[in-house]
Amino acid sequence: MWPTNHDVWLQKVYKLALAYKDLEALQKSPDTRWKPAGTPNLYAVARGNGSVTWIARVAIDGKRQNITIGKWPNVTANEARDITPAIKSMLKGGYNSEAVKNALSLTLDPIQFSSLVRAEKVSASGQTPTFEEVATHWYETHLRDGLSDGPYKKQVIQQLRDHVFPKLGRRQINEIKQKEIREALSDIWVNHEPSGKKIRSNIERIFELAVADELVEYNPTPSPRLMPKSRHFVQHMAHLPHERAPEFWQWLMSRPRMSLQTRTGIAMALLLAKRSQEIRFIEWSHIDFDNAVWTTPASRMKMRKEHRQPLTEPILSMLHDLKRLTSNQKFALGVADKPISENAMLVAVKRFDEITIHGFRATCGTWCEENGIDQQVSKIIKAHQPKYLDAAYQRSDLLEQRLEALQRWADYVTG
């Protein structure tokens, strides 16, 4: 059989293919040299410094582009020859050269490479961002405005800076593997699992954003069951047993030197199960005395959702007394138009026992559980967000039911 034109062309091409000894000789070249490397558009380039680089040279609309594939011998001649037609196809198809270069940093398999570029799973404008860049973008645009000001808001980014950025921050996000994340979190997970869980969850959300922005193909965050066994023993915030709540109330009401603002704030924490941050920043404009309702705006809530809380006796009486003294200022518990200090209430309750203001939420919640209060009512008292399906069917905030439950709790505490 006589050879076809295609066969003759192939014979000419393979005559140009560089053998190992040719590449070794090229490596020793004292000058820059370009040598055709056995497939159209592929060149082996000596730099005159002892290195040989594979470069695909492709002309697009009369303008030549040089795409670096990698250095020999790290990239073999066969790998360079196989990937070059795919590079040419992507560039001819109009795909961005930066996307092509970034895809090459991930794989030299022609099929996977083409899939990455076609699906635009790599950045088409500049270098693919680092993990720290994506994490900071996630915090600034997707998380920060969704959380109220407070320790947790600062803690999210600080934990990433302390435990993740030093190990993964400078890595391009599409290069990070699951094993690396496990190793980065291993120490904090073993010695302080609650913090480790929060950080792992936030890493998962960062990669969810990266997948959505088509910077990575999949989320590599390991599931909790793949993490090492923890040595941490969970210690919840010290709370007041509900059986001692009446005793604490009598103590609170008998403190002669405690300011009315501090006493009222502690009473609100105990009887209304509100977070200290929400109590400290309560404004007179938030209180509807006629209907006995305190509305905390979304901007002051942890989950950025407005929360109404019924006001029971004796909280109403205490607020009426306070209003006579401070009605001309913005904050109900403030002094000179400034909110009550963060530690004022905490330092005060520590004189009674090793308890915390936040722990009063558990005190009230436990009493609700043991006294037949509906679980959904108890959750809304503490402003816990319902699960997705519950939220779909539970549109009411059960204000009347909460008023009844909180008044029963107040009657029990105050005697």
Q: Which residue has the higher pLDDT, 342 or 146?
A: 342
Higher pLDDT, 96 or 366: 366
Residue 265: its H or E element: helix 260-272
Tokens at 205, concatenated: 């959300």
CA 147 to chain centroid, in Å, comes to: 12
Report the pLDDT averaged over residues 208-232.
Answer: 85
Q: Which amino acid is at 34?
A: W
The 10s digit of each residue's pLDDT in 389-399 is: 344 334 467 89
C-alpha 161 chain-centroid distance: 12
Closest by Cα among 59, 66, 61 to 101: 66
Q: Which of 271, 317, 277 is nearest to 297 (CA)?
A: 277
Question: What is the rounded average pLDDT for all residues in the chain?
Answer: 83
| Category of 24 on φ-ψ map: left (φ > 0), alpha (ψ -120 to 50) or beta | alpha
Nearest to 117 by CA among 146, 94, 145: 94
Identity (one letter) of the amino acid at 241?
Answer: P
Residue 142 has a pLDDT of 78
Q: In this predicted structure, what is the pLDDT of residue 414? A: 94
pLDDT band at residue 101, thresholds of 50, 70 and 90?
confident
Query: Could you tell me which residue, 173 or 143, shows the higher pLDDT?
Result: 173
Mean pLDDT of 13-42: 77
What is the average pLDDT across 330-344?
87
**What mean pLDDT do residues 290-299 have?**
91
Token pair 């790998």: residue: 79
The C-alpha atoms of residue 328 and residue 324 are separated, in whole angstroms, by 9
pTM: 0.49
Q: What is the pLDDT of residue 390?
A: 44
> Mean per-residue pLDDT for 234-263?
86
Residue 309 in contact with residue 286, Cβ under 8 Å? no
Domains of the chain from N-terminus onward? 5-118 (3.30.160.390), 131-226 (1.10.150.130), 242-414 (1.10.443.10)
pLDDT greater than 90 at residue 207: yes
Most confident range (mean pLDDT) of 29-38, 90-99, 112-121, 371-380 is: 371-380
pLDDT digit string (tens) for 302-324? 767 788 999 999 899 999 999 98
Tens of pLDDT, residue by residue over 119-128, are 655 555 556 7
Spatial CA neighbour of 70 closest among 62, 59, 82: 82
Lowest model confidence (mean pLDDT) among 15-24, 48-57, 134-143, 243-252:
15-24
- Paired strand residues for 59: 64
pLDDT at 7: 44
